Structure 1
């Protein structure tokens, strides 16, 4: 094959066109009719398959057909010769997605979908003891469970499989059972995604048994764990990336596990979701962080999304305190904590936007460079917090303390409680004076989203820039710098009450300089309110 044809973009275009072709022009038809397709240089055409239907097309025409219900069926007895070409090309597949129903392109004329359940049964009967995908690296399994156990997944496992994505629903957990019984293939997995695990005791027991075999896993997406599964999770020595939906407290009371007993010794990235889909709550998040051995987790990135629950300031402070206790020193760089809620939840909450005290445990993590915390009614901090943050986070590049967007899946029905919601927009306690500390000490700060009181401060507090006033420092304070040097390019003050935008913009310009490419950043941010 010409070397130009190995260009990734061109190869992708060729594969897309072949996938869209009809039955007479398909990749399988070309493979059956052209001897040149047996060359190893064309293996790349089979590298990634989103269905096994192309492979079924390699079988003799008189072996299979579509019945009246669009099922692929074998219409005669099979023999070894029938599968010679099929087995020759399954060796070339590296990435495969399997589903009983295929509704993609390239289907026989008049068919909008095909059902391959009977093909799976026939293939399993013939090849249950044979590795037919010896070179597969990545497998996507989107086969729904049935009323009876099916072991089909074992057909598609191979010795080099390192990534599997299992989506399952219904009452059983057939895919999990197949994985548990194929211990050799499972032990080599480095990436595993288990989506939509049923909230049932057998399924969670299967998850726990599977985790014990994932000894090499580095990246894991999982939900609905029980207590033994959680304990196993914390002992995985190679786990670097974890995406977890916190389990239902009734099924997995994380608070019952011995505190500070799980090392998570390699965990670098953690994504947690707390919502009604799995019945989790923020107390579960608190108890999850409480399991970490003190100072043992080398976490670099934390992203937490909470939907339809607003914690008290006390619980929020405890969560952040446990997080700071569990993380290894000077590792956490990105902290994203977003709470979304619908109107009903917001009206029922008594939490105040003034939660600076709850955020103070985060000041212990000096390595933070990206801090993004959002609440449904905003966040207000004072100048004291900003001053301490500037001293504690010298590497800060992005700081967002803002109002979160509404719950995107808001399905509230029924009457809204008639109670008057608590005030959600009290005047911010941070002032333009508080920005000076950030500008002076955070020399890498590029983005700032903060609620600020833009009332003009007393003249004696102004820096001597543009002739605004005196530079005389108060007793014991340091003189203003001639010009702050942080490279701020975006200053978002949308949640700030501005009574005099021109004056506010002028003063903010003194405290937070504009970069050469954004001369009107401060003015625009204030003028657009």
Structure 2
């Protein structure tokens, strides 16, 4: 063992495994690790010198500006808890508790001693506008002692404080995340390609509280910036600021070329691309947050199929069943059949919908059977997804490697046709399935087949399924269902129902009250099923 610990690569691998096992990932902020993961690394760092540098490098790899502030002497600041109440949509109330830090004396050079020790380890820094008041007192130190190895900067400041970004810019930066659209940010973007030609990861305007008129005027600036970047591998645009020239530039990039694209819209004035070249040659992940037409327009615009591994779309307005069918057909026509592993379509939860128009049919879902290597399929409908046992059976046999299959609805599926019987098929055909979401009619409970060796088959069992989302699935005999489920999914630890997300409000119509009452009753029955399953394992 001692000889192994003399190999730096092995020590680093050990520390990395410990860190990754306990560290969450956030799209909007760097991976700052969980308390448990960082605590274990801290213990490792002081256990032996041989671990210290590797553990510290991981502990300080990604930090927030607040973490840097806490490296100052404790007599520099004071902290206290602040309680606040936030109202959304005029009805929902959320109580929050956050820690607030205030500086209580001026800072001098000696106060930054600890930061100076850890600064070389920092690769990613997240700085939000809630810490703006600390910038004037700390920036002189960062001006003279920059973070020398900073690779990723996540800057969430608005107009008044954006210019402070200059103190943190390292020539080695390859990842840049700018949260708020502002005039200062647009001015900065104009010089971005010249200052950071090696930039590989760029995310713009993810904090959606900017001025709409400013976002519109940002299109030419964003376009000029993108057309000047030739090493970009990942791009996220949370506002509709992508124009045709910029998109055409991205399509023609060669190695290294774009691998991940996340956009909020596709321009309508796209010109046809020539068919003689391979466009978006390295694109593997594509995400839309837009109307459904933009997603379709992009796939139809590309002259050849894309070798995507992941496709996802968050639709801003609830798509009709016909629009959803068109989206699925376009996906089949625009994505290489054998490459796609992960497909998700999320509809908006729009009010006043008609189930006859928005109910997604099983025939539409069968369109996806062209993709035979799926590991995750998630489809959210505003008003139900209609599947039967035959469709679920075909899904199970078409996607034997599936790990996540979620067919969800915000309002539930009226009169679901699938039954408990289809769950046994999934247990038999899909041994890797861990998450399942489906509306089914659990009124009738299949008989358990406890076969004897050589005298017929027994009911199939899957030990992989952990989470089941049943929406507002009808159920009348929870004890019988629990007995059956105990055999089919013995390691199930969670059952989610529509009532988990449904906010019950007063003043509903009589018809609405009847629906909600049924939903609540079904929810209680399913929770009883889960309770019985958990008790049986104790």
Q: TM-score, normalised by structure 1?
A: 0.63
Tell me how far apart the structure 1 counterparts of residues 127 and 481 of structure 2 sit (CA, whole Å). Answer: 59
- The question of 1:139 aligning with 2:149 is answered no
The CA deviation at 1:284 is 1.4
- The question of 1:243 aligning with 2:243 is answered no
Question: CA 1:518/1:317 → structure 2, altered by over 3 Å: closer, same or farther?
Answer: closer
Structure 1 contact 231–262 (Cα < 8 Å) conserved: no
Question: CA 1:151/1:520 → structure 2, altered by over 3 Å: closer, same or farther?
Answer: closer
- The question of 1:18 aligning with 2:71 is answered yes
The CA deviation at 1:329 is 3.4
Tell me how far apart the structure 2 counterparts of residues 259 and 348 of structure 1 sit (CA, whole Å). Answer: 42
Partner of 1:270: 286
- The question of 1:28 aligning with 2:103 is answered no
The CA deviation at 1:370 is 1.6
Q: Secondary structure at the match of 1:18?
A: coil
The CA deviation at 1:114 is 4.4
Q: Secondary structure at the match of 1:273?
A: strand
Query: 1:22-61 maps to which residues of 2 (within 5 A)?
Result: 22=76, 26=107, 28-30=109-111, 44-47=117-120
Q: Unpaired segments of 5 or more residues in structure 1? A: 49-92, 108-112, 275-280, 406-423, 468-478
Tell me how far apart the structure 2 counterparts of residues 448 and 168 of structure 1 sit (CA, whole Å). Answer: 37
Tell me how far apart the structure 2 counterparts of residues 200 and 497 of structure 1 sit (CA, whole Å). Answer: 46
Query: 1:491-502 maps to which residues of 2 (within 5 A)?
Result: 491-502=468-479
The CA deviation at 1:253 is 0.9
Tell me how far apart the structure 1 counterparts of residues 369 and 73 of structure 2 sit (CA, whole Å). Answer: 55
Q: Secondary structure at the match of 1:426?
A: coil
163, 167, 170: which one pairs with 2:175? Answer: 163
What number of residue pairs does the alignment pair up? 405
Tell me how far apart the structure 2 counterparts of residues 338 and 262 of structure 1 sit (CA, whole Å). Answer: 29
The CA deviation at 1:518 is 4.6
- The question of 1:318 aligning with 2:304 is answered no
The CA deviation at 1:314 is 1.8
Tell me how far apart the structure 2 counterparts of residues 364 and 306 of structure 1 sit (CA, whole Å). Answer: 23
513, 523, 528: which one pairs with 2:488? Answer: 513
- The question of 1:177 aligning with 2:190 is answered yes
Partner of 2:292: 282
Tell me how far apart the structure 1 counterparts of residues 456 and 249 of structure 2 sit (CA, whole Å). Answer: 55
The CA deviation at 1:393 is 0.4
Question: CA 1:138/1:528 → structure 2, altered by over 3 Å: closer, same or farther?
Answer: same
- Cα displacement string for residues 246-274 of structure 1 (whole angstroms, at most 9, x for unaligned residues): 25xxxx21666559887322122233212
Q: Secondary structure at the match of 1:103?
A: helix
Query: 1:407-486 maps to which residues of 2 (within 5 A)?
Result: 425-456=413-444, 465-466=449-450, 481-486=457-462
Tell me how far apart the structure 1 counterparts of residues 137 and 178 of structure 2 sit (CA, whole Å). Answer: 19
Structure 1 contact 132–156 (Cα < 8 Å) conserved: yes
Question: CA 1:139/1:436 → structure 2, altered by over 3 Å: closer, same or farther?
Answer: closer
Structure 1 contact 494–525 (Cα < 8 Å) conserved: no
The CA deviation at 1:480 is 7.6
Structure 1 contact 451–494 (Cα < 8 Å) conserved: yes
Tell me how far apart the structure 2 counterparts of residues 320 and 100 of structure 1 sit (CA, whole Å). Answer: 41
The CA deviation at 1:444 is 2.1
Tell me how far apart the structure 2 counterparts of residues 99 and 139 of structure 1 sit (CA, whole Å). Answer: 11
386, 393, 401: which one pairs with 1:395? Answer: 401
Question: CA 1:208/1:483 → structure 2, altered by over 3 Å: closer, same or farther?
Answer: same
Could you say what the CA RMSD is over the residues aligned between the two structures, in angstroms? Answer: 4.5
- The question of 1:364 aligning with 2:370 is answered yes
- Cα displacement string for residues 145-184 of structure 1 (whole angstroms, at most 9, x for unaligned residues): 58xxx9986776554221112234345721111214x2xx
Tell me how far apart the structure 1 counterparts of residues 413 and 196 of structure 2 sit (CA, whole Å). Answer: 53
Tell me how far apart the structure 2 counterparts of residues 25 and 10 of structure 1 sit (CA, whole Å). Answer: 28
- Cα displacement string for residues 268-323 of structure 1 (whole angstroms, at most 9, x for unaligned residues): 2233212xxxxxx21112112222343332x223332224x121222112212222
- The question of 1:214 aligning with 2:233 is answered no
Question: CA 1:378/1:135 → structure 2, altered by over 3 Å: closer, same or farther?
Answer: same
Tell me how far apart the structure 2 counterparts of residues 503 and 263 of structure 1 sit (CA, whole Å). Answer: 56
Tell me how far apart the structure 2 counterparts of residues 14 and 449 of structure 1 sit (CA, whole Å). Answer: 39
Tell me how far apart the structure 2 counterparts of residues 521 and 253 of structure 1 sit (CA, whole Å). Answer: 43
Q: Secondary structure at the match of 2:191?
A: helix
Question: CA 1:190/1:28 → structure 2, altered by over 3 Å: closer, same or farther?
Answer: farther
Question: CA 1:480/1:316 → structure 2, altered by over 3 Å: closer, same or farther?
Answer: farther
Q: Secondary structure at the match of 2:196?
A: helix
Tell me how far apart the structure 2 counterparts of residues 508 and 30 of structure 1 sit (CA, whole Å). Answer: 61
- The question of 1:191 aligning with 2:204 is answered no
Tell me how far apart the structure 1 counterparts of residues 216 and 120 of structure 2 sit (CA, whole Å). Answer: 38
Q: Secondary structure at the match of 1:380?
A: coil
The CA deviation at 1:483 is 3.9
Q: TM-score, normalised by structure 2?
A: 0.62
Tell me how far apart the structure 1 counterparts of residues 163 and 182 of structure 2 sit (CA, whole Å). Answer: 16
Tell me how far apart the structure 2 counterparts of residues 441 and 393 of structure 1 sit (CA, whole Å). Answer: 8
More helix by share: 2
Query: 1:64-83 maps to which residues of 2 (within 5 A)?
Result: none
- Cα displacement string for residues 82-136 of structure 1 (whole angstroms, at most 9, x for unaligned residues): xxxxxxxxxxx865667899535xx5xxxxx74999x9xxx9xxx9xxx988754
- Cα displacement string for residues 36-55 of structure 1 (whole angstroms, at most 9, x for unaligned residues): x9xxxx8543348xxxxxxx
Partner of 2:132: 103
Bigger Cα Rg: 1
Tell me how far apart the structure 1 counterparts of residues 406 and 471 of structure 2 sit (CA, whole Å). Answer: 12
Question: CA 1:292/1:392 → structure 2, altered by over 3 Å: closer, same or farther?
Answer: farther
